[in-house]
Amino acid sequence: MFFKSRSTKFGILALVARLVLAVLIPTHAVSALAESKAESAMTGLQTAVFAGGCFWGVDAVFKHVKGVASVESGYAGGSAGKANYKAVSSGRTGHAEAVRVRFNPAQVTYPQLLQVFFIVAHDPTQLNRQGPDVGSQYRSAIFFTDTEQQKLALAQIQQLSTDRTYGKPVVTQVTALQQFNLAEPYHQNYLALHPTQPYIVINDQPKIEHLRKQFPALYQ
Q: Which residues are catalytic?
A: 54
61 neighbors 54 (Cβ within 8 angstroms)? no
Question: For residues 69 and 104, is the Cβ–Cβ distance under 8 A?
Answer: yes
- Output phi, psi for 68, to 5 deg: -85, 125
SS (H, E, C) 139-152: CEEEEECCHHHHHH
Residues 62 and 56 sit within 8 Å (Cβ to Cβ):
no
One-letter amino acid at 98 equals A
